Amino acid sequence: MSAVDPVTLEVVRNGLLAVAEEMTATLVRTAHSPNVTERRDCSCAVFDAEARMVAQAETIPVHLGAMPFSVRAACEAFGPDDLEPGDAVLLNDPYAGGAHLPDLTLVAPVFDGGDVVAYVANRAHHADVGGASAGSVSATATDIYQEGVRIPPVKLRRGGEYDQGVLDVLLANVRTPDERRGDLRAQVAAVETGRERTLELLERHSRDRFVDALAAVQDYSERRMRAAVADLPDGTWAFADALEDDGQGATDLAIEAAVTVDGDSVTVDFEGSAAQTAGPVNAPLAVTTSATYFTLRAVTDPDIPPNHGCYRPVTVAAPSGTVVNAAPPAAVVGGNLETSQRVVDAVLGALAEAVPERVPAAGQGTMNNLTLGGTDPRDGEPWAFYETHGGGAGGRAGADGMDGVHVHMSNTQNTPVEVLETAYPLRVCRYGLRPGSGGDGEYRGGLGLRRDVAVRAPATASVLAERQRTGPYGLRGGAAGEPGAAALFPDGDESAAEPLAAKTTLELGTGDVVSLRTPGGGGYGDPADRDSELRERDRRLEKADRE
């Protein structure tokens, strides 16, 4: 049993959560880019002295499950003897603990006296980190060198001062250096906030009690997770899904998951998944593990505090050299964005056989990435815009899926139209739900979105999406959701619409419009069992939307 009494355990656990949440608030409040200040594409967490996560702010799932890999990589590169107060380690290398290059992670030690007692870390998606395409989310990249600047663990801060050489190298390789500098400073402010608040928590409880509490928090989560897993039936369940294409001609890239429950532990094996491919849909192991952790937590007990202990009962097996555990120099930007979603769909599909009442039908299964960039005619400066788009959530036992939301591994907000049109030479021509796009069922899938964006100056556009040939699957007799689509309206003329591939990069002229339609969620249960009043409401809403 823990030496920490239950009251102290809860006080410290909630204190650690408050540290992570305040770090996030600092990062969002002080960042420069709308990608962080508006979309909130960032995450923060606290780790013990052994680089084990003890608390996280509830922000972006794909960040948080993978962040421990980055913190571990930073600590392997710089041990406690290599660090001093005020240091901060920066990295984004997907093959050294990262996820994809736009996600920059900053890790800072927390010293008490001369000893490291904890680490604080954050991750922010930067709207451009160089590479072949503005926005650094290239749908046509074939290796990581085309995706942007790759940063192994390096010290961005030394003793409280910037390493100007490191900063200069980074900013010389991006299109929007002022914005990048601003967001990096916000990340530094966030880890400084985390360091100060962690020390305040330590001082209130004494070092020994604080260190004991960090271990006790993890043990508590482990006990609850093991109890939740033990509540699942023993056995092995398998499910196969697929990525539609990699943007380079390869299609139907299998994602296979076999989930084995054995007492209070669970193994998820991705044997049979497709070999890594030329296009940018390869996922590092950190991303696949993150998606698996998310899914198991969602299906067991989402209230279990997420930390290192929560995941001790979980083993992830992913063959090296596959789309779920890629080896360098594979392109990976879409692995974080798209393959992570398909991993969730595959693991959920397997668990639907074991506990069907707990698993929803498939959500939209894509982040519907749109990246735009060029030279702003208002000031002659380079600009880069990045956005993920919501869609339909899957129907589930007892409830319809939500409309127009980010599902599973993405949890960002959208960029408000007013901000988008002020910050960039863009105009939003249309933004709304797609009537009838949710899969039919006793409980309907959520509706997808349509968003049409016009450029007010020549620009490069990149679309990186999935679920445009086959809609998200339904469960227990429910119908699949409607697939997504993308189109170009030359000079804004919808009557001359040109279909766009799900993964493409193209040049736009002034007035051209990119139209994205996102998938609806799958339906749950036999449509014949849908309540007649709900069916009548569906008809009224669809009629109103079409009018």
Alpha-carbon gap, residue 181 to 307, rounded angstroms? 31
Note the pLDDT of residue 2. 55
Range 123-131 average pLDDT: 94
Range 264-280 average pLDDT: 98
Note the pLDDT of residue 544. 66
Range 404-432 average pLDDT: 93
Residue among 525, 527, 517, 469 nearest 241 (CA): 469
3-class DSSP state of 92: coil
DSSP string covering 110-130, please? EEETTEEEEEEEEEEE-S---
Indicate if the pLDDT at residue 542 is higher than 90. no
Indicate if the pLDDT at residue 322 is higher than 70. yes
- The pLDDT mean for the chain works out to 94
Residue among 483, 230, 519, 232 nearest 352 (CA): 232
Q: What is the pLDDT of residues 86-125, one digit of tens each?
A: 999 999 999 988 889 999 999 999 999 899 999 999 999 9
Higher pLDDT, 431 or 545: 431
Q: What is the pLDDT of residues 51-72, one digit of tens each?
A: 999 999 887 777 677 889 999 9
First to last CA, the chain: 64
Indicate if the pLDDT at residue 176 is higher than 90. yes
Range with the lowest mean pLDDT among 135-139, 174-178, 321-325?
Answer: 135-139
Per-residue CA distances from 159 to 81, 84, 99, 108, 475 (Å): 13, 6, 27, 11, 55
Range 483-505 average pLDDT: 97
Note the pLDDT of residue 297. 92
- What are the phi and psi torsion angles at 414 (to 5°)? -95, 165
Q: What is the pLDDT of residues 411-420, one digit of tens each?
A: 888 899 999 9
Indicate if the pLDDT at residue 361 is higher than 90. yes
Indicate if the pLDDT at residue 547 is higher than 80. no
DSSP string covering 508-520, please? E-TT-EEEEEPPP
Residue among 343, 191, 162 nearest 269 (CA): 343
Note the pLDDT of residue 134. 87
Please give the order of strands across the beta sheet that includes 53-56: 53-56, 42-48, 115-125, 103-112, 88-91, 154-158, 161-162
Residue among 149, 158, 154 nearest 126 (CA): 149
Note the pLDDT of residue 66. 82
Note the pLDDT of residue 58. 81
Contact 387, 414 (CB under 8 A): yes
Note the pLDDT of residue 293. 94
Indicate if the pLDDT at residue 400 is higher than 80. yes
Note the pLDDT of residue 1. 44
Report the C-alpha dihedral over residues 540, 543, 545, 546, rounded to 10 degrees: 170
Which distant-in-sequence residues (6+ apart) come within 8 Å of 527 by Cβ?
A: 440, 441, 442, 477, 478, 479
Range 5-25 average pLDDT: 94
